Structure 1
Amino acid sequence: MTEEWEWKVGCAGPVSPGAALAQLRARAAEGGFEAWLTSGSGRQLAVVSNAERAMVLLLEGAGDPGEHAVDPDVEGWSAGFVLANGQDDEYPDEDTVPIGRALTIVEHILTTGRPSADTPWSVDR
């Protein structure tokens, strides 16, 4: 059985992968955003985007440094990653992925419970 996920803030109860992606796409169309999903097992999936690139984090639970999707063949930095608390971050582009790729990564995790084998990850534990 596939793991059930729900929004950490704003909605109660499980959300389908399709509904979660639709909401993430809508938020991306509006600009940068921060979104968190939590699974029934306590895992957390976060997307922080500046509308062009996104950091995708997967944590095993509260307090876990987790892991994040990477784009190892790019250089440079991107700014405009505004967190819900107002903090405005910038990240090396290698630590983020293009927003379209981020949504594909999230879809795979929500439907299979794990990252795709063809996505490079940096383990921060």
Structure 2
Amino acid sequence: MKNLFLFIFVLLLSFICLGCTNENHVATLKEPTETVIELEKVYMEMREIAWASLSDTDKETVMGNWKDAKVTEEQLSVNDEVQPDNNPMKVMKVIFNTSRDRFLGPIGIYINPNTNKIISRDVRM
């Protein structure tokens, strides 16, 4: 009889511990959502900086809403080789698709996310 009570006690204790674990898991699920929202704010800021740098002529050729421009994180490279130091510079690239993409390619603007300054642009031929 004592063994039965001990077994039930251990079983109930296990369920209580699992319940606490699930509660903590739910709390950690909220964190990535906040991170995604913060990341989208950074992306929108990069779009605004890139958009402000375009000439009126380039703005007229942008297809779609500029607020939907693609933003990617890139590593600074020279001749397609990552810099040899241990911490290569990470930059944000904003890509605007234009009506002239077929002839010149899209507009690509590289921005330093730490200083919010434009570092470079893709060559359009």
Q: TM-score range by the shorter chain?
A: under 0.3
- Higher normalized helix content (fraction of residues): 2
Q: Which has the higher contact order (CA 8 A, sep 6+)?
A: 1
- Higher normalized strand content (fraction of residues): 1
Tell me the TM-score normalised to structure 2 length.
Answer: 0.27
Tell me the TM-score normalised to structure 1 length.
Answer: 0.27
